[in-house]
Amino acid sequence: MPADDRIDGYAAAILEVARAEEQLERVGDELFRIARAFEASNPLREALTDPRIPVERKMGVIDDLLGTKTSPLTVNLVGFVVSAGRVSDLPAIADRVAERAANARDKAVAEVRTAVELDEATIARLTTALNKATGKDVEVKVVVDPTVIGGVVARVGDLVIDGTVSHRLEQLRETLNQR
């Protein structure tokens, strides 16, 4: 089966379970955050993708990390993906779940990365601004990423609007290299 179809299949299954449990928004949000943490943390990624580590041990790692912070349903769904040996596809599956969940509400996912957590009021104003800038009704998912240093970068589908300090430093680096 092609990887894209497989990811779609897992995303559809998780989506249906979450919808049946009426936790679609929460599960989608938590999966999204877990996927970003998985992408950002090399030790976590290595621990969950190492074929020499038994699945039970991997499940223990997930319980330790997520047990008290996320819903049991989300933990079980992540465990399902890990036990199926598809943990390397977890970010793509999470993105697809978030995308499908948003589409179900006639919305588009806006992945917003900042160096610090944003309060609800700021997220609301950011959502409004992104709605106007993209012409879409977006659902903002905030990812805390210290590498951006400061500012915000938002990705809606293929559109990226980067206002981070790291991006400005990178532009400065390119300008200096061109001279």
Which of 14-22, 61-69, 89-97, 117-125 is the region at the interface with another protein (rule: CB under 8 A)?
A: 117-125
- The CB density around residue 78, as the number of other CB atoms within 10 Å, is 28
C-alpha 57/C-alpha 62 separation (Å) is: 9
Work out whether 151 is an interface residue with another protein (CB under 8 A).
yes
Work out whether 173 is an interface residue with another protein (CB under 8 A).
yes
Indicate the residue among 84 and 165 with the shorter CB distance to another protein.
Answer: 165
The per-residue DSSP string of 79-148 comes to HHHHHTT-GGGHHHHHHHHHHHHHHHTT-EEEEEEESS---HHHHHHHHHHHHHHHSS-EEEEEEE-GGG
Work out whether 23 is an interface residue with another protein (CB under 8 A).
no
Residue of 165, 116, 121 lying closest to 143 (CA atoms): 116
Largest CA distance in the chain: 59
Residues 6+ apart with CB under 8 A from 84: 10
Near another protein by CB under 8 A: residue from 85, 122, 157, 160: 122
- Residue 150 CB, nearest distance to another protein (Å)? 4
Work out whether 166 is an interface residue with another protein (CB under 8 A).
yes
Work out whether 172 is an interface residue with another protein (CB under 8 A).
yes
- Residue 75 CB, nearest distance to another protein (Å)? 31
Indicate the residue among 52 and 179 with the shorter CB distance to another protein.
Answer: 179
Residues that bind another protein (CB under 8 A): 114-116, 118, 122, 125-126, 129-130, 132-136, 146, 149-152, 161, 163, 165-166, 169, 172-173, 176-177, 179
